[in-house]
Amino acid sequence: MKLESEIVQDNLLQESLIIEPWQQHMRLDMLLSHHFQKSRTYFQNLIEEGFVVVNGKREKKSYKPTPGDEVEVQFVVTRELDISPENIPLDILYEDDELIVVNKAASMVVHPAHGNWSGTFVNALLYHCRNLERSDDTRPGIVHRLDKGTSGVLVAAKTAYTQEKLSGLFAKRRVRKRYLAICLGKPQNQIIAAPLGRHPALRKEIAVLEVGGKEAETTLEVIKSNGILSFVSLAPKTGRTHQLRVHLKHIGHPILGDPVYGRESQNSLFRTRRQLLHAETLEFVHPKSGKAMTFIAPIPDDMNEFIEKI
């Protein structure tokens, strides 16, 4: 493994590695942990936050580099995860021995990561479910995500078996999801088919890409509109990161309050504190019982205020 180091920012060390043939069967997180003699959790966080790229692209922690790949690592000042149970109230919609379904508040982060080490759904989950099986050290029970500013239905697994099965249902698109949002203007009812990928210049953002993007499809239906704002229903066929937020920006009708993909002037005008996006409905077959289940989270007050005005 060849190594080059340079200081790219104040107190930020960047190192570039060229993978040797004997390293090709190692996971990315394990490879970095072994080479730099730091914990695997530390590098899992760097990978998750985009501080590790392979040939200029972000990869998952389980990715196995091939000989000749260039791995770039930015070492940031961070604390390693010590996920502890925290007594945080949960709005529980359903619970049994295998899974739990909650109505996530818009202010809650799903799992610990850089900048949000505590107060997350995972911390609350570990407190509420004392016998939770932890097959993943950093995201126990997690099978899907909602952005911090997005409220609504969130399901988590209590056992390793159910976590694997639920993750499979999401991966195979056998989970039906319906979101509600307040967006700018009045869009047409349509199917938005626009591939998504990491923004080529802005590391933390997602963008519609003409080349190299992953398939992404969203069905949009206008429920009511006054021409200035619209209350819409969104049904994602795929589950890409930031998909609904980027797709609405792409068609010129961004979600009101979105701090990244929205319009700052309109967010300020309407005094919104978060993107007005709500995961209203989640439908799937229970991994153990085989029963079809539907969960609905009531629309939060901040969205209802705008719906009434529209």
Q: Rounded to whole angstroms, how far apart are CA atoms 98 and 157?
A: 6
How many residues make up the chain in this entry? 310
Q: What are the distances in angstroms from CA 150 to CA 5, 145, 241?
A: 39, 10, 13
Nearest alpha-carbon partner for 279 in 146, 182, 159, 173? 146
Q: Among the options 10, 136, 147, 258, which is catalytic?
A: 147
Q: Rounded to whole angstroms, how far apart are CA atoms 98 and 165?
A: 11
Q: Which residues contact 143 (CB under 8 A, 6 or more apart)?
A: 155, 156, 157, 163, 166, 167, 170
Strands (E), the chain: 2-9, 12-18, 52-54, 70-75, 92-95, 99-104, 151-157, 176-184, 190-193, 196-198, 206-208, 217-225, 229-236, 277-285, 292-296
Catalytic, 97? Answer: no
Active site (catalytic) residues: 147
